[in-house]
Amino acid sequence: MDRLSIAHIDCDAFYAAIEKRDNPELADKPVIIGGGRRGVVSTACYVARIRGVRSAMPMFKALQACPDAIVIRPDMEKYSRIGRQIRELMLELTPLVEPLSIDEAFLDLSGTRRLHGGLPPVEVLARFAARIERELRLSISIGLSYCKFLAKIASDMEKPRGFSVVGETEALSFLRDQDVSIIWGVGRVMRTNLARDGVERIGKLQELGEAELMRRYGVTGQRLYRLSRGQDDRSVSPDGAAKSISAETTFNTDLAGRHELAAALRRLSEKVSLRLKDKHLAGQTITLKLKTTDFKTRTRNRTLPDPTQLADRIFSAGLMMMEKELDGTYFRLIGIGASTLQSDENADPEDLVDVAAAKRARAERAIDGLRGRYGNEAVFLGLTFPWADKKNRDR
Ligand SMILES: [Mg+2]
């Protein structure tokens, strides 16, 4: 146990826990963060979870299960600020901190013994959990292992206030009974394919050879082979926080008009979305960049309640920020980016109140499906673009 040094730390019911902390009257009450324009649960506190409320659940269903729940609209600025505080404290443990979202990170504590007065990582982490509770009055769950894959799974085992350790000797037996969907990159489609082939538990993958898995599932098969056996050599990369996926364009002639700028923004949003989807990533912070004719750069950020990889959501967030900047200034460049990158497993819960947005999201997914079958270019050419008509009308 003393040699294990890769940890995954995840705050428990982060948004809800912050609201409870800041308003003690809520302590014993079922609290749901979400609502507003979007009709889904973003985070439910553990009281609400016991009553059957889950993340990404439609709000009306959540309120059927728990009619006396207190619904609070997310205050993303506050949550980001506290997320940064926690990250600062993590960085006191090791410089190797790789954030996955505002309340979650991998830490590599190897080689930090001297820094911690001879304490092994397992003890350093236990003290860290106590410190977060004492100083920030929030609780975390920790998974400790020898690789990222198992650390991440472990942190989820005993939530809230969990601390799970998975060593090399128990990796195979630990994984055997787990559902294949816990494997990174196994989404709904892959899970269905695996189920069709009679593979539901990881143990089944452990029985199959690498060549067989690759024959069946291509490159993914190789990952399934390795991860099912607890083999994961991805390192904890501390620049994760700064990592973003973005696209920008410099205009031939400077632009000030809403429609032209929005058209460019839409194209760039699609580019960013495509790259996120290809990498199974989603971003929770959207950044708009504008450069004026006299080379001044304006950068605006917006943190979303849920990570996204959809062009429609990236564009909407960018457009909202862009509209505030339209004051007749001419711009020579526009760019849009997604950061606070994480795996796409929790991305884009269905929007039930904003029916039009949900429809656009479904259309986008249908287009993605076609693109997968017929190639990117073919489908992009057919994509209708609402601003194009208006732009032409203006002229
Ligand atoms: Mg969390």
How many angstroms separate the CA atoms of 71 and 36, rounded? 9
State residue 328 phi and psi, 5-degree precision.
90, -10
Distance (Å) from CA 152 to ligand 1 centroid? 11
What pLDDT sits at residue 381? Answer: 38
**pLDDT over 90 (residue 345):** no
User: From the centroid of its chain, how far is CA 183?
Assistant: 15
pLDDT (tens digit, 9 = 90+) per residue, 107-127?
999 989 989 999 999 999 999
Residue 242 has pLDDT above 90, yes or no: no
Q: Span 150-162, mean pLDDT?
A: 95
Q: Is the pLDDT of residue 272 over 80?
A: yes
Residues 6+ apart with CB under 8 A from 261: 255, 322, 326, 331, 334
Cα 130 to middle of ligand 1, angstroms: 17
User: 385: CA distance to ligand 1 center in Å?
Assistant: 37
Long-range contacts (CB closer than 8 Å, 24 or more residues apart) made by 319-325: 319/262, 319/265, 321/286, 321/288, 322/261, 322/262, 322/265, 322/288, 322/290, 323/258, 324/300, 325/288, 325/290, 325/298, 325/300
Q: Is the pLDDT of residue 394 over 80?
A: no
Which of 9-23, 66-80, 174-188 shows the highest mean pLDDT? 9-23
**Consecutive H or E run containing 252:** strand 245-255
Tokens of 75: 């205050």
Decide: 185 and 223 in contact? Cβ < 8 Å.
Answer: yes
Q: How far apart are CA 368 and CA 271, in angstroms?
A: 13
> Are 66 and 52 within 8 A, CB to CB?
yes
- Judged by average pLDDT, the poorest of 39-53, 178-192, 330-344, 351-365 is 351-365
Instruction: Report how far Cα 282 is from the mean position of its chain's Cα atoms.
Output: 5
**What confidence score (pLDDT) does residue 344 get?**
77
Distance 13 CA to ligand 1 centre (A): 6
Confidence class for position 241, pLDDT limits 50, 70, 90: very low
Average pLDDT over residues 291-320: 93
C-alpha to C-alpha distance for 10 and 143, rounded to whole angstroms? 9
Strand partners, 334: 249, 290
Task: Locate 239 and state its tokens.
Answer: 């620049």
User: CA angle 11-73-38, nearest 5°?
Assistant: 105
Identify the band that residue 229 occupies on the pLDDT scale cut at 50, 70 and 90: very high
104 catalytic? Reply is: yes
Question: Amino acid identity of 193?
Answer: N
Distance 109 CA to ligand 1 centre (A): 21
Q: Is the pLDDT confidence value at 211 over 90?
A: yes
- Return the number of other C-beta atoms located less than 10 Å from residue 231's C-beta: 12
Active-site choice (25, 77, 92, 104): 104
CA of 46 to the centre of ligand 1 (A): 12
Q: How confident is the model at residue 393 (pLDDT cuts 50, 70, 90)?
A: very low
Q: What is the pLDDT of residues 276-303, one digit of tens each?
A: 988 778 899 999 999 999 989 999 999 8
Is residue 47 within 8 Å of residue 29, measured between CB atoms?
yes
The alpha carbon of 117 and the centre of ligand 1 are apart by a number of angstroms equal to 30
- Mean local confidence (pLDDT), 240-254: 83
Structure token digits, residue 218: 């291509």
Query: Ligand 1: distance of its center to the CA of 55 in Å?
Result: 11
Which amino acid type is present at position 159?
K
What is the whole-number distance in angstroms between the Cα of residue 149 and the centre of ligand 1? 16
Query: E strand or H helix at 361, and its extent?
Result: helix 355-374
pLDDT over threshold 60, residue 385: no
CB–CB of 209/129 below 8 Å? no
DSSP percent split of the chain into helix, strand, coil, nearest 5: 45, 20, 30
Q: How confident is the model at residue 22 (pLDDT cuts 50, 70, 90)?
A: very high
Please give the share of the chain, as a percent, with pLDDT higher than 70. Answer: 91
Quick one: pLDDT at residue 239?
A: 65
Of 131 and 114, the structure prediction assigns the larger pLDDT to 131
CA of 140 to the centre of ligand 1 (A): 8
The H-or-E segment that residue 99 falls in is strand 97-101
What average pLDDT does the chain have? 88
CB atoms within 10 A of CB 253: 7
* Residue 353, pLDDT score: 62
Check residue 312 and give its pLDDT: 93
pLDDT band at 376 (very low <50, low <70, confident <90, very high): low
How many Å lie between the centroid of ligand 1 and the Cα of residue 213? 32
Closest CA to 365 of 189, 233, 224, 139: 189
